[in-house]
Structure 1
Amino acid sequence: MLAFSAGAINAMALLTFTNNAVSHVTGTITQAMSALTVESHHASYYLLSIVGCFFLGAVTSGMIIHNEALRLGRSYGTALFIEAVVLFAATYYFYHHKMTGELLASFACGLQNAMIATYSGSVIRTTHLTGIVSDLGAALGHMISRRALNLPQLVMQGSILLAFSAGAFVGAKMLNIVGMVALLLPATIVLCASIGYMLMLRRHKTS
């Protein structure tokens, strides 16, 4: 769900008025440094602000959850609820063609990406695919050389790849159909994930 929503968010940000990515920082920093070479200081400042908001989102996640390893009982519901609220606010600013929308979306992605960093000994990122594709490629190399594979890890990483790709496709489609309010879709998904986790946690505590 989170990878799907991140794919949708990033597609919508890339296809709107400023065409900037918000779910990862590598390309954004590259653009910022490129802008500096032609003395486009305003563009560079804004691009670095997107990176800064992603970083602040990760800081917020660390303050709420206190640990990178996935474990039932941690405050994921609170983190997801904050992310959903931020995405609803970002929708408002995107709808009014305000750059604040991109900054808020980047903050939300940073919060989400830092929330679950490790699971079953593997690094999990839900807002970009570089590490996922690298790990899947390495796994294919291991298979070719007849080494042991971690099948559950491969299934999870493959699922994240497919979910992010599907989210990007759906996000782009919805943007063409309904415009900027399409961002309500990932915001609602994250809100449902927050509520679902809180209900599951409550049921677990009472059982």
Structure 2
Amino acid sequence: MITRLPRWIFWGGAVLAFSAGCVNTAALMGFTNLSVSHVTGNVSLFAAAIAYLDARSILYIGALLLSFLAGAILSGFVIGQTSLKLGRRYGSALYMEAALLLLSYWLYQQHDYLGQLAAAMACGLQNAMVATYSGAVIRTTHLTGLTSDMGAAIGNWLAGRRISKPTLGFQAIIWYCFCAGSAVGAFLYARVGYGALFLPITIVLSAAFVYNYVSDNLPEKRQPRKKRPSV
């Protein structure tokens, strides 16, 4: 249960949710018409493809699901933990995500379906990277579980039970930021096409730079100055 939220987690979750919403909307509005930020709907499409024996869709949607999984595996390999803590290698993971999104943009411009796989891998990496804090599950690329948690918390509050208001507030911020990112992504895609991806690429790169700067300047990482020997 979150009792007090560090600013870096608050702002990080908010901007990454906004970025994910933008990426997913651009992917949905593009020529593939498939989401990249979550797997539930794509699993249903994968199952339908199996039912209709649509080999092409089975292979492509299956690859899309595996790409999201591969991104999550990469996140686990690089970071190695599930609990959020300043000082871990989130900066490296963010740079990898930005590189995947840039690759996705280039492939999309070539009308290559592999662009969708790169975007899905980027989302899988981000979603696994932002995992838990103080027992609260934090997800920034989809809203299903988060909305369920919010609903349960509101129900408990209406019943007069104690809830973690900071947790509920943070979940609401992620929800609205993802929605806002989706709206901005749709607006940009309608005008510049897949160029809309440059906004989330810029956001992720900026987040990586800021995180590394803050992490490198932690008090415990500062080396004490050596005293000059007295003459």
Note the C-alpha offset of 1:97. Answer: 1.5
**Which sections of structure 1, spanning at least 5 residues, go unmatched?**
none
Which amino acid in structure 2 is aligned with residue 156 of structure 1? F
Answering whether residue 46 of structure 2 is matched by residue 27 of structure 1, we say no
Aligned residue among 20, 23, 48 for 1:6: 20
Q: Which residue of 1 aligns with 2:101?
A: 87
Shift of 1:115: 0.5
Matched residue, 1:157: 171
2:138 paired with 1:101: no
1:197 has 2:200 as partner:
no
Q: Aligned partners of 1:7, 1:131: CA distance in 2, in Å?
A: 16
User: May I ask how many residue pairs the two structures share in their alignment?
Assistant: 207
Shift of 1:143: 1.1
State how far apart, in whole Å, the 2-side matches of 1:59 and 1:36 are: 26
**Residue of 168, 171, 175 corresponding to 2:182:** 168
**TM-score, length basis structure 2:** 0.88
Equivalent in 194, 208, 224 of residue 180 of structure 1 = 194
Counterpart Cα distance in 1 of 2:126 and 2:206: 14
Uncovered stretches (5+) of structure 2, i.e. residues with no partner? 1-14, 224-231
Write out per-residue CA displacement over residues 34-57 of structure 1, whole angstroms, 9 at most, x where no aligned residue. Answer: 011111111111001000000000
Cα distance per residue 1:14-46 (max 9 Å; x no partner): 110010011101110110110111111111110
Amino acid at match of 1:58: A
TM-score when normalising by structure 1 = 0.98
Who is 2:8 aligned against?
none
- Asked which structure has the greater CA Rg, the reply is 2
Higher helix share: 1
Percent identity reads 45
Tell me the CA shift for residue 206 of structure 1. 2.8
CA distance in 2, matches of 1:183, 1:98: 15
CA RMSD of the aligned region, Å?
A: 0.9
